[in-house]
Chains A and B, each alone.
Chain A
Amino acid sequence: MMDVETKRSLDFNTTTFTNERRAPEDFPPIANEIRRDIVRALVRAGSGHSGGPLGSADIFAVLYFGGYMRYRSDDMGWSGRDRFVLSAGHMVPVQYATMANAGMYPKSELATLRKYGTRLQGHPGRDMHLPGIETSSGSLGQGISIAIGMAMSDALLDKNDHRVFSLTGDGELQEGSVWEAAMAASHFKLDNFCWIIDNNDCQIDGRVPDVMNVYPIKDKCEAFGFDTIVVDGHDHADLQRGFDLFLANQANKTGRPTCIIARTYMGHGVSFMNDKFEWHGKPPTHDQAVAALEELSAHP
């Protein structure tokens, strides 16, 4: 267990976590360390997205450390690995923090986020060869199609049991090509594909239903052929229920792709950011980072 001074510190520590089947109560310490690393990285970067990364930290904790995605953190080129594609590329600080907490690269490198020459580009860049980044992304709507191409390669050509996960935002659903992708996932019966929607109702210009309504999301995903489940994206047991549904779909060869709609709050875990779309695209100041770390250190 980390002591409170280590948690509260603006400096990166060396704690890492393993990927295994866990009880729900095992996840909060992981999710909160991911959140703290997001804050530590963003305050140094001086730019970047706080809201989405903090709000989705629970999803990433369960996905990367709950035994659902199979990988070798010291060999991310392992051909047997499952793949994760972040379609909402601007949320990459949470993926960088998660990957570092899995030991794919040193946590100290999070200090280079968005700086010249870094492997931690503002949006994921495959050209930087950071272990665990499968593809460049950031132009919304593309990552999910790439993930479906990977899932097709696994299920239809190589005929292996690899899993492919992709996370989109909810504002991202406004991109029409997302629905081209969704159509293809069920057309090709990709039960090895899991689509996670970070449903926080926030985008840069305001609340998603005000900017351009994407609801009813669940009905749409079901109509596009997904086995769709809505979960509380901050309740780890509920998230596990979602990922278990996906594993069952694949194991039982149902031919149905799975969609997990994770209801989240942007900026969750830091009260002054919680559910505020203004935090979509800005980093904390030094004082705000200190306050955020203080609050995030009060929890497990």
Chain B
Amino acid sequence: MTPTLLGSKPTRFGFGDGLVDLGERHSNVVVLGGDITGSVMTSLFRDKFPDRFFSIGIAEQNATTIAAGLALSGKIPFFASYGAFCALRNADQLRISVAYNEANVKIGGGHAGISVGPDGATHQVLEEVAFLRTLPHMTMIVPADYEEARKATIAMGEMVGPAYIRFGRSPVPMFTTADTPFILGKANQITDGNDVAIIANGAMLWESVLAAEELGKKGIKARVINVHTVKPFDFETVTNAARECGCVVTAEEHQVHGGLGGAVAECCGKNAPVPIEFVGVKDSFGGSGEPEELMVKFGLTWREIYASALVAMERKEKGSTGIRAIKDVATYA
């Protein structure tokens, strides 16, 4: 049941299209621009609904907090910029004015991960999932492809409460369709298997599918799970996967600590302590280069997921819950 590849498109296009759809459905949806509207695709909304679009300029702290004020007046404000600036530069505003206020503010964070490419480390945000999932009341979504990003954008606009969606710059494979279920907080199982669970989101989901295919050639059945909503986290689906597969690999285009991998480790530590291997950026900043080149350089391809699955399974088979000898202790790097 490997999904079919349907071409490729950036997830930011899904955000832009979803926002226009939302604007048509709800007259109180408004959008704040942060000078990079074409890049994060809020320009589509701006051109369609100019009266409901406000340019705030290069002032992310103000834009976030103005959004909170609009939300407290009954509007559904979206503010989008690059994740480096609309998740971290404005972190205090997100914490107090948005999350603590339970203000119905929606943030779109673009240029996530190293697949941004040539812009380099300053613009390749790799830390925001870790921050956002610690904020009470916050919903945090990492869609895997265009269609999922479109659906997630509509879903976050129609739920009540603060929410953040993470999307990327470069095209990524499309494999979900209008018929694929999407429920906030509910992980989707992509492939069947009981040998190893591969838990991924964003651009790493398709890589996980490819890894599962390769594992299949060796007779290993991998269960790939799409945790598109990192918060609220689907403890049940992840716990079941860990229990039934006995070992887990996480894969994300983010630092290996604090993000999806951190959430899975917290869940398994409490509910099903099994060996876990983590694929992600290993405690370093990104850099300039072509997206494909960087994904290879930073170890974010199906090959690392494949190799990690074999390690996880070996640890499972050794028993003793896969505890490593001190001389073999693994670190982030």
The answer to whether A and B assemble together is yes
Query: Which residues in chain A, 149-208, are within 8 Å of chain B measured between CB atoms?
Result: 149-154, 156-158, 176-177, 180-181, 183-184, 188
Q: Is B73 an interface residue (CB 8 A)?
A: yes
Is there contact, CB below 8 Å, between B96 and A138?
yes
Q: DSSP majority for the A interface?
A: helix
Q: Is B174 an interface residue (CB 8 A)?
A: no
A202 to chain B, nearest CB (A): 24
Cβ contact within 8 Å between A142 and B66: no
Q: Is the CB of A136 within 8 A of B61?
A: no
Question: In residues 161-199 of chain B, which contact A (Cβ within 8 Å)?
Answer: none
B62's nearest neighbour on chain A, judged by CB, is: A180
Closest to A166 in B: B69
**How many residues belonging to B are interface residues under a CB distance threshold of 8 Å?**
28
- A145 and B54 contact, CB distance less than 8 A: no
Most buried by A among B54, B65, B77: B65
Interchain CA distance A6-B75 in the complex, whole Å: 46
CB contact under 8 A between A157 and B66, given known A126-B100, A126-B102, A127-B100:
no
Which of chain B's residues have a CB closer than 8 A to the CB of A183?
57, 59, 62
User: Does more than half of chain B's interface fall in helix, strand or loop, or is it mixed?
Assistant: helix
- Complex Cα distance, B74 from A68, in Å, reads 24
B59 and A180: CB pair below 8 A? yes
Q: Least Cβ distance of A165 to chain B in Å?
A: 13
A13 within 8 A of B: no
Does the CB pair A146–B61 fall under 8 Å? no
- Is B72's CB within 8 Å of the partner chain A? yes
Chain B hits for A152, CB < 8 A? 54, 66, 69-70
Centre residue among A141, A180, A183 by max chain B CB count within 10 A: A180
CA distance in complex: A154, B73 (Å): 8
State which of B65, B101, B102 has its C-beta within 8 Å of the C-beta of A177.
B65
Bound-state CA distance A136–B97 (Å) is: 7
Q: Complex formed: what's the CA distance from A146 to B102 in Å?
A: 13
Q: Is the pair B74, A142 in contact by a Cβ cutoff of 8 Å?
A: no
Contact present for B62 and A181 (CB under 8 Å): yes
**How many angstroms between the C-alpha atoms of A126 and B101 in the bound complex?**
6
B-chain residues with CB within 8 Å of residue A141 when the two chains form the complex = 61
Q: How many A-B residue pairs have CB under 8 A?
A: 103
Task: Give the distance in Å from the alpha carbon of A149 to the alpha carbon of B54 in the complex.
Answer: 11
Q: Chain B: which residue is nearest A188 at the CB level?
A: B54
Interface check A249, CB cutoff 8 A: no
State how many angstroms separate the Cβ of B297 from the closest Cβ of chain A: 36
User: CA A136 – CA B93 in complex, angstroms?
Assistant: 11
Determine the distance from Cα of A158 to Cα of B70 in the docked complex, in whole angstroms: 11
Q: Closest A-chain residue to B70, C-beta based?
A: A149
Contact B92 A184 (CB under 8 A): no
Given A142-B65, A157-B52, A188-B54: A149 in contact with B72 (beta carbons within 8 A) = yes
A135, B97: Cβ atoms under 8 Å? Answer: yes
Q: Please, which residues of chain A bring their CB within 8 A of the CB of B52?
A: 157
B65 contacts across to A, CB distance below 8 A: 142, 145-146, 149, 177, 181
Q: Which of A134, A138, A153, A181 is within 8 Å of B70, CB to CB?
A: A153
**A91 CB within 8 Å of chain B:** no
With A139-B92, A177-B61, A184-B66 given, is the CB distance from A145 to B73 under 8 Å?
Answer: no
A-B contact list, 18 entries, CB within 8 Å: A85-B69, A135-B72, A136-B97, A137-B96, A139-B96, A142-B65, A142-B96, A145-B66, A146-B65, A149-B69, A150-B69, A153-B73, A153-B74, A153-B75, A156-B54, A176-B61, A180-B62, A181-B65
Known: A135-B101, A139-B92. 14 other contacts (CB 8 A): A126-B102, A127-B102, A135-B97, A136-B100, A145-B69, A148-B62, A149-B77, A150-B73, A152-B54, A152-B70, A177-B62, A180-B59, A180-B62, A184-B66
On B, residues with C-beta under 8 Å from A are 30, 52, 54, 56-57, 59, 61-62, 65-75, 77, 92-93, 95-97, 100-102
Interface set of A (CB-CB < 8 Å, partner B): 85, 125-127, 134-139, 141-142, 145-154, 156-158, 176-177, 180-181, 183-184, 188
